[in-house]
Structure 1
């Protein structure tokens, strides 16, 4: 027993002696740190808008616990970068401990005002994070491309109240965060990108003209709204490179690749009731909640209130195109991937689509709505209106659901529609629609020269590539007398009248994609 007590006392003494060491065995860094990256590229950001946070790891691969005497931004407190070392924010850190065979995280972000450095429209902002000094100095480079932009946003008054736009009357209307564009702001050029906060309003009797190559970016819950008797003219043109140099692009204000395909980043292009003579040519509208809202029109006797040509509306969290008692004409255009229907023509109106692709392979959530919905009423309400025309010629209406077409007729108002030389996805495997006249696909007054349920063989729907293969269901089914002369890419359409060799339905002429 005496020996056991003696041994126990010796063990306790040894523990106490070791616990009294001040440095716990840490030695100074010798410049042998390893990094998960030696250069950190913070993705392109707009001037004054904060970047996403990037992360890298620092490794101590030695068998010794070490102390890094200094970790700091080379520009010190003048740097526009912000770092955090193992969860602690700062710009200079001293005596950073790192255990043997262990690692630590470093987080980096930045916000830069381009006017503090240059008058150019973009420049590279750089700094380095230094680990240790002298002969042991190691560095990780930081690089960010900063773009200048035209910022448009609601002003605040002397009391700090933000500017708003009234929808409706003072008695029963609502106000949204927004502002009306001044006369000197009604032409958007391609000289700098535009970044919009809130809704940029086009005043009554004014026109917003957007030049070829313009880039318009929207902050969350922002968009463009056009007042009664106001007009939107998007004057994009055919591009010859993958940079889409002449196309007008509408998207969110986060430029990082992480946000490339995130739907719902901004609100909508909203063409309110009574606005007139809208034209959208060669535009890409992507990642909105609703791409385009076209409210009811006053008088369509002078043609469609909204004309969309050679344009693409992609990846809307709700709907790509929402028309309510609207007058819309669309040619060579794509409406693709929406959380609900890609195109909604509701409460009547007048619609004419030619050589359009309306498709939906949404995978961001459960989708129960068909890609195309046409109605002369709003379900579960008392609102009805005449559908004077809904003509879809040389079109593709397709998706990954069996039923990609819904026709909702209240039985009282006019309900005129027709599909011609089009490819439709309507696979009624349960025969639920038998006997309903609107779905009688043998009726040539409603469905003339249409093909059902033959895959168009899109190039890559998840990447929004909607070219079609020349063995797909849309190949050669177009009407030579009514197709557009060229497709959305400028390719000349076939003029053959031979079955299977004629022009194609949809926005693209087909090609051999087997080697793509």
Structure 2
């Protein structure tokens, strides 16, 4: 019997020893985790109301069982987010095990008391979930709006690949794509009930219309924007506002609303009206702090092309240009295009442009600027591409800035180049006589320049604060044509019936302000 017991003990010991195989040894994480999402967007919350729970997965695609030394919220116990890792709640987790070719769930939620925020400078509440540390550190961003909002962003598929929009193919057949998504039918109307926050490019599908109601607020993350496909349309239906809150105007801007970002250009990409899109209308809108406010493409001079009408709107403070039209058909009235790192308004590679009572100005101080505020051409500079400039009419406009030459014209001598300036204020000081003898700059030619005034300061209210009202003693005062001017200015003020002013605003006495 003694020998039987001894043999049994040895057998049990052998089994226990053999069960501690190297198959279950865990290696340290090497920073190669994959995530189903790299940014988690939570519903905005108000006082003591919790958000819905968001879930993402963490993948170990390696052949080794690993241990993640640390999973934690960057703000630790001070964070207003709550997380759980594979069903275990907490804020800091040590030595989290993850088997080879396996995954785990992470759940995120938040409850934010609005009383915790002492001012309206807090627009986004953000934290980060950190996986590991040092050289192996990986992060998943957490974003929550302090006010209620609609988040629109590219989805990820089961493999974690983010949604993109096909733009074109290169000469070798390679696809050119951008991070973005097409709006569903139930997303093609933006209302004023909640602000919209867009990550990536929100695409308007072909044969669809995106309609934006009065008072809507659209915010873009970095490198984000709106892109309108072939045969699609953008309608911005802003209306005149009665207060400084611009309650009826549609505003497009970045998603950082702290005061330090009020005048930071280039925070988001652009509104892109692609070739073949059509019938666009933008009324009472402010587009600010983009790389390019509006890009309008139509590279086929033989087609009817896309059309864009801009009324009573302003495009401000763009790091590149406010408006770029390429063989485009654009009409604008009572609108302001102000401050850009390059030309504020560009009409290139031909097209048709008709501007009335518009202010096109540039006092950019973000970097050195060498381009005129208005540039018109029938070609694309430094290329062989040329197309007819059917018309470029600027009537009752202000074209001004802090450079001596604020009007640039490029005629390649091959395609048509039709333009005319009437009853407009233009800055053009050719101190070096570089433009003498060039027919396009013959300011005495009434077929090109009729009743225009040159180099008399319009006396804007405050160009750095984007206040483009003009004083009643400035150069644009009383020079517009009463038979062609707009009856009301951009603010809804009635224009003088006999001596109206050029530009988007009818003048006022600014001396007392």
Fold in common (TM above 0.5): yes
Alignment of 1:32-71 (within 5 A): none
CA distance in 2, matches of 1:470, 1:359: 18
Matching residue of 1:386: 388
Matching residue of 2:166: 166
CA distance in 2, matches of 1:148, 1:485: 39
Matching residue of 1:514: 511
Matching residue of 1:193: 195
CA distance in 1, matches of 2:306, 2:402: 31
Change (3 A) 1:76 1:266: closer
Matching residue of 1:505: 502
CA distance in 1, matches of 2:375, 2:216: 32
Change (3 A) 1:127 1:219: closer
User: Residues 307-360 of structure 1: CA distance to partner in whole angstroms, max 9, x if unpaired?
Assistant: 000000000000000000000000000000000000000000000000000000
CA distance in 2, matches of 1:156, 1:301: 37
* Structure 2 residue 467 is the aligned partner of structure 1 residue 480: no
User: Residues 457-512 of structure 1: CA distance to partner in whole angstroms, max 9, x if unpaired?
Assistant: 0000000000000000000000000000100000001111xxxxx00000000000
Would you say the 8 A contact 1:304–1:329 is kept in 2? no
Would you say the 8 A contact 1:238–1:490 is kept in 2? yes
Alignment of 1:268-417 (within 5 A): 268-296=270-298, 305-417=307-419
Give TM-score, length-normalised by structure 2.
0.73
CA distance in 1, matches of 2:187, 2:300: 27
Displacement of 1:390:
0.1
- With 231-240 and 168-177 compared, the bigger mean Cα shift is at 168-177
Would you say the 8 A contact 1:441–1:447 is kept in 2? yes
Displacement of 1:173:
3.9
* Structure 2 residue 445 is the aligned partner of structure 1 residue 435: no
CA distance in 2, matches of 1:478, 1:297: 34
Alignment of 1:449-468 (within 5 A): 449-468=451-470
Displacement of 1:77:
3.5
Change (3 A) 1:318 1:146: same
Matching residue of 1:211: 213
SS of aligned partner of 1:406: strand
User: Residues 191-249 of structure 1: CA distance to partner in whole angstroms, max 9, x if unpaired?
Assistant: 10000000000000000000000000000000000000000000000001000000000
Displacement of 1:124:
1.5
C-alpha RMSD over aligned residues: 2.5
Displacement of 1:125:
4.0
CA distance in 2, matches of 1:422, 1:172: 47
Question: Which consecutive residues of structure 1, in runs of 5 or more, have no partner in the other structure?
Answer: 1-45, 50-74, 83-90, 92-112, 129-143, 497-501
Would you say the 8 A contact 2:425–2:455 is kept in 1? yes
Displacement of 1:431:
1.1
Change (3 A) 1:256 1:303: same
Match of 1:250 among 236, 252, 255: 252
CA distance in 2, matches of 1:350, 1:447: 18
Give TM-score, length-normalised by structure 1.
0.73
Question: Which consecutive residues of structure 2, in runs of 5 or more, have no partner in the other structure?
Answer: 1-40, 45-74, 83-90, 92-107, 119-143
Would you say the 8 A contact 2:354–2:393 is kept in 1? yes
SS of aligned partner of 1:77: helix
Matching residue of 2:235: 233
Runs of 4+ in 1 over 4 A off after TM superposition: 46-49, 115-118, 297-304
